[in-house]
Amino acid sequence: MFCELVQRSDGYKKEERMETNFKVEITNCPEFDCFTFHGNIDIHASKYFLALPDNVVNTKVRLDFSQVGRINSMGIALLLRCCKKIRAEKNAEILLTGVNTMHTMLFKTTGVFLLAAIER
C-alpha cells in the first residue's frame, strides 16, 4: 500500500491505495529457470501468471518471492493454477525461494507446498 495526499474542498486528506505494479523478471539458466516476482500478487498479476508456464524451458523452476509484498486470495489461486500447469505440462520441479514467514504460513494453509518446495 502507499499513501497519497488528495486535495479536497475541506483540505488535504491522506488516502491509502493498493499498489498495482507487478512484474516478473525471467532468467533462463542452463540448469533452471528463475522467475523473480516484484510487487503484490493479486488480480493485477494474472496476465503474468497465465503466461509464466509458456516461459519454462527447464525441468527445474525457481520462483523467487524475495521482492513480493502482499499475496491475496486471487494471488494464491493464480499461483496454484500456475504451479499445477507447470508440473502437468512441463513435468518440472518447482522450488520457492525468498519466502518470508507470512508467505510460508499462507502457502502451508492453501496447499502451495503440495506443488512446490522451499529451496534450502
- pLDDT tens digit at each of 120 positions of the chain: 333 444 455 555 544 444 568 999 999 999 999 999 999 999 999 999 999 999 999 999 999 999 999 999 999 999 999 999 999 999 999 999 999 999 999 999 999 999 999 997
Check residue 82 and give its pLDDT: 98
Q: Per the domain annotation, does 109 fall within a domain?
A: yes
Q: Per the domain annotation, does 111 fall within a domain?
A: yes
Strand ranges for the chain from DSSP E: 2-8, 11-17, 22-28, 33-41, 60-71, 93-97, 117-118
Question: CA 39, CA 63: separation in Å to the nearest integer?
Answer: 14
Q: Per the domain annotation, does 13 fall within a domain?
A: no
Check residue 120 and give its pLDDT: 76
State which residues form the domain around 67. Answer: 20-118
CATH number of the domain encompassing residue 99: 3.30.750.24
Check residue 21 and give its pLDDT: 87
For the chain, the farthest-separated pair of C-alpha atoms sits apart, in whole angstroms, at 60
| Cell numbers found for residue 10 | 475541506
Q: Per the domain annotation, does 52 fall within a domain?
A: yes
Q: Per the domain annotation, does 28 fall within a domain?
A: yes
Question: CA 114, CA 44: separation in Å to the nearest integer?
Answer: 25
Domain total in the chain: 1
Residue 114 phi, psi dihedral angles, 5° rounding? -75, -20
